[in-house]
Structure 1
């Protein structure tokens, strides 16, 4: 049964492929939710329909290989992490949610970026003053 397959309009899909895409979709959904994004927000960022994203998340559709880098960037995950591989030990850098927020800020107009950076500086200075 491991090698069982079924025909689809675009070719033969092995059952293990279906499990892979279901698991990939689950990881996408979990990560999207942990970032506080709606399906519509993520779909807009990727340039796809919300319903297409919903189908990806439940494994009903296969994610196109060309979309994988965009998913990786939008979700703040490496491709290895997106595919379910454990993050490498000792990996350093901002927390994934923080990284995603930084990338979203990078897409804002410069004046909005400056405003957010000023607010962030003030919050950090205040936290440092309280800790001292």
Structure 2
């Protein structure tokens, strides 16, 4: 069974790769491994070594800390459980093709229209 931290790192790896529109094959080639290894990392079946995590971070243009964002200790989880439910979305949402397409389109906009779109989305979400 995969360790929860390995699963979290794998989900973050998949999210970033998908957001960049990068295939498992292309990512694997950029760090000198087979795409099957990327599959194992993303599922949490295999643990990512420090040196490989560094190479993956460079290939995905993120700091190594990106892979650990969102993790917390069990003590912190208990004290922030109510806030987390209200403030977060399901991690699976970030793997949906529609979500990735929306994020790409959003960042394709110039800053002014991007802000207006964000304000509109917040208004619509508040009305729901």
Q: TM-score, normalised by structure 2?
A: 0.52
Q: Tell me, which stretches of 5 or more residues in structure 2 are unaligned?
A: 72-103, 105-128
* Offset of residue 82 of structure 1: 2.0
Alignment partner for residue 28 of structure 1, among 7, 10, 13? 13
The aligned counterpart of 2:22 is: 37
Deviation per CA, 1:5-39, whole angstroms, max 9, x where unpaired? Answer: xxxxxxxxxx8x70000010000001001001000
SS at match of 1:61: coil
Q: Tell me, which stretches of 5 or more residues in structure 1 are unaligned?
A: 1-14, 87-96, 98-132
The aligned counterpart of 1:71 is: 56
- The structure with the greater share of residues assigned to helix is 2
Q: Give aligned pairs, total.
A: 72
Asked if residue 82 in structure 1 is aligned to residue 63 in structure 2, the reply is no
Kindly report which structure 2 residues correspond to 1:1-132, keeping only aligned pairs within 5 A, or say none. 18-84=3-69
| Bigger-Rg structure (1/2) | 1
Q: TM-score, normalised by structure 1?
A: 0.50
Q: Distance in 2 between matches of 1:59 and 1:85?
A: 16
For CA contacts below 8 A with separation 6 or more, give which structure has more relative contact order. Answer: 2
Runs of 4+ in 1 over 2 A off after TM superposition: none
